[in-house]
Amino acid sequence: MKNPLYDNLFGVHAENDDPFLYLIDGKTITYRQFLAASGRIANTLVGKGLEPGDCVAIQVEKSPEMLNIYAACAQAGLVFLPLNPSYTVDELKYFIKNSEARLIICDEKNKDDLTTIAQKFDILIETLNQDSTGSIIEKAKSSPEGFETVARSKDDLAALLYTSGTTGKSKGAMLTQTNLLSNGNVLMTEWQFTNNDVLLHALPLFHTHGLFVATNVMLAAGGSLIFLPKFNLDDIIKNLPKSSAMMGVPTFYTRLLADNRFNRKLVKHMRLFVSGSAPLLSETHIQFEKLTGHRILERYGMTETNMNTSNPYKGERRAGTVGFPLPGVDLKITSPETGKEISVDEIGQIEVRGPNVFKGYWKMPEKTKAELRENGFFITGDLGKIDNDGYIHIVGRDKDLIISGGFNIYPKELEVFLDKQLGVLESAVIGVPHGDFGETPIAIIVPSSGLQPDLYKIEKNIKKSIARYKHPSKIITVSELPRNAMGKVQKNLLRNKYNFLFKK
């Protein structure tokens, strides 16, 4: 096989006239049309001097062309690096510098800011807008469709996806051709996707869930995507009758349950609802089944590993659990102190190994060494247990990660920022339950002696420098933080105190 990822997921469809994307404006893009457009983009990218192994960063709103660029990168042997559109200029500087990307593709509206960064780091810049316009599209129009697929080996990098880091710096997870391809194939088989399926796709494309789980599975199966720009209840309700499956974060499901148009009749024909990226409350699982008769299938994965576990397609989908390891995935629970495997029902760190597990962190050999053992097991940073029936439960996040609406927020990043604000001595950021987002961050700050921090100014600074989804929903001033005997801040006490704030 010349280029395993491209040949298996994309190339096989070169002569396929079945629909690949159903767009919100009523248009349909067939596989053949999609690949012709991708080929033109691949020619454009190579025409700009990009070579196999070069990285293409892209910060745009979700669009079919963004998927074309993913396909073009796979075909030309380039490394695809999607970035959250809500990242600020300050955040982008870091990603561009750290990734050593050769090209950034951005929305026209951010072009001025990004041109400054591109000049600083000497990289190329092109634009792509959500309405399918932009400089890359213009150039692609005059490029040929036919593109000679570049040979790649299974361990070559296909994508670089940044995760948030506990120290405030994101880490680039190096994902190989095999990582992506093996997971796409396993999930297709486990969840029984075929070319008859129509998947309702309302997830973003800069994250592993919408980009790889949803898209690669459907490419592997040859099915179609109803491709929505974002999660919008009206569009979801309108398109559910035309879909056979849906993938979402728990927030999607809680929002659907709260809408009185969502009922058993609307989803009677559906084959599958999948949830992941954050814990699905047992309550939601149960309520969903009561209303619709469907049991949501919950799975567990992460940027570095793709998907690791899944509840069974056939068999009991157990609420509050993430099911069993996927075929090919070894999973064990180990003691954080000794690293040794511990007994059934005991809580420890979740470690995984398999073809889905990434190659390491880009340019961070120390971090790679600390988290990826020599025997191939990756220490996920999640805490969990395996029960007597073999179901895996995730009980907490080792790194104090906050997951809001499916997006990760590392408290440390916000704390470092807050501590630098005028009049702030120290801070603690915690996640509290939120009726809509699952969790939301709040910040607890301690003023420097004799000073009164200006909360309005701090909020303004946050808005300027930090992506919106990470903004604390509330900033609370206290005289001191609770600490244990070892001097550690007792975040559990803070959570208990403030957990009522955003519950519905």
Q: Is 277 in the site for ligand AMP (CB under 6 A)?
A: yes
Binding-site member from 69, 186, 225, 322 for ligand AMP (CB under 6 A): 322
Order across the sheet with 19-23: list the strands: 28-30, 19-23, 224-227, 198-201, 245-248, 272-275, 297-302, 306-310, 324-325
Smallest gap from Cβ 300 to ligand AMP, in A, equals: 4
Please state, as a whole number, how many other Cβ atoms lie within 10 Å of the Cβ of residue 296.
23
Residue closer to ligand AMP, measured from CB, 134 or 276: 276
Tokens 């809408």 sit on residue: 259
Q: Is 394 in the site for ligand AMP (CB under 6 A)?
A: yes
* Choices 144-152, 224-232, 300-308, 440-448; region in contact with ligand AMP by CB under 6 A: 300-308
Query: Of 107, 98, 142, 138, nearest to 125 (Cα)?
Result: 107
The DSSP 8-state label assigned to residue 502 in this structure reads: B
Task: Check: CB of residue 52 under 8 Å from CB of residue 152.
Answer: yes
* Choices 191-199, 295-303, 365-373, 445-453; region in contact with ligand AMP by CB under 6 A: 295-303
Tokens 């024909």 sit on residue: 269
How far apart CA 341 and CA 350 sit, in angstroms, is 10
Residue closer to ligand AMP, measured from CB, 243 or 308: 308
Q: Is 197 in the site for ligand AMP (CB under 6 A)?
A: no
Q: Is 326 in the site for ligand AMP (CB under 6 A)?
A: no
Q: Is 302 in the site for ligand AMP (CB under 6 A)?
A: yes
Applying the rule CB under 6 A, the residues between 201 and 260 that interact with ligand AMP are 208
* Residue 231, both tokens: 């999660």
* Choices 3-11, 283-291, 296-304, 413-421; region in contact with ligand AMP by CB under 6 A: 296-304
At residue 493, the 3 state secondary structure works out as helix
How far apart CA 294 and CA 128 sit, in angstroms, is 39
Smallest gap from Cβ 28 to ligand AMP, in A, equals: 30
Residue closer to ligand AMP, measured from CB, 42 or 302: 302
How far apart CA 35 and CA 39 sit, in angstroms, is 6
Strand partners, 31: none
Q: Is 276 in the site for ligand AMP (CB under 6 A)?
A: yes
- For CA atoms 352, 358, 360, 362, the dihedral sign is negative
At residue 333, the 3 state secondary structure works out as strand
Smallest gap from Cβ 295 to ligand AMP, in A, equals: 14
Residue 443 has φ and ψ, to the nearest 5°, of -115, 135
Residue closer to ligand AMP, measured from CB, 34 or 391: 391
Task: Check: CB of residue 240 under 8 Å from CB of residue 270.
Answer: yes
Q: Is 427 in the site for ligand AMP (CB under 6 A)?
A: no
Binding-site member from 298, 351, 371, 415 for ligand AMP (CB under 6 A): 298
Binding-site member from 371, 382, 415, 439 for ligand AMP (CB under 6 A): 382
Binding-site member from 4, 64, 248, 279 for ligand AMP (CB under 6 A): 279
* Choices 42-50, 178-186, 258-266, 272-280; region in contact with ligand AMP by CB under 6 A: 272-280
At position 99, the amino acid (one-letter code) is: S
User: Per-residue x/- mask for ligand AMP, residues 342 to 381, rule CB under 6 A?
Assistant: --------------------------------------x-
Smallest gap from Cβ 211 to ligand AMP, in A, equals: 11
* Choices 68-76, 151-159, 293-301, 330-338; region in contact with ligand AMP by CB under 6 A: 293-301
* Burial (CB count within 10 angstroms: exposed 0-12, middle 13-18, buried 19+), residue 366: exposed
Strand partners, 162: 172
Smallest gap from Cβ 409 to ligand AMP, in A, equals: 10
Smallest gap from Cβ 163 to ligand AMP, in A, equals: 5
Q: Is 303 in the site for ligand AMP (CB under 6 A)?
A: yes
Strand partners, 298: 275
At position 464, the amino acid (one-letter code) is: K
Give 48's contacts (C-beta < 8 A, 6+ positions apart). Answer: 103, 124, 126
Tell me which long-range contacts 141-146 makes (C-beta under 8 A, separation of at least 24): 141/40, 143/40, 143/41, 143/43, 143/44, 143/47, 144/39, 144/40, 144/43, 145/36, 145/37, 145/39, 145/40, 145/43, 146/39
* Residue 57, both tokens: 């960063």
Smallest gap from Cβ 352 to ligand AMP, in A, equals: 10
Applying the rule CB under 6 A, the residues between 108 and 167 that interact with ligand AMP are 163
In order of 37, 212, 223, 433, the CA distances from 495 in angstroms are 50, 33, 44, 9
Q: Is 311 in the site for ligand AMP (CB under 6 A)?
A: no
- Residues in the interface with ligand AMP (CB under 6 A) total 19
Residue closer to ligand AMP, measured from CB, 137 or 217: 217
Binding-site member from 13, 285, 397, 434 for ligand AMP (CB under 6 A): 397
Residue closer to ligand AMP, measured from CB, 11 or 433: 433
Q: Is 171 in the site for ligand AMP (CB under 6 A)?
A: no
Q: Is 278 in the site for ligand AMP (CB under 6 A)?
A: yes
Residue closer to ligand AMP, measured from CB, 68 or 277: 277
The DSSP 8-state label assigned to residue 78 in this structure reads: P
Smallest gap from Cβ 438 to ligand AMP, in A, equals: 10
Residues that bind ligand AMP (CB under 6 A): 163, 208, 276-279, 298, 300-303, 322, 380, 382, 394, 397, 401, 403, 408
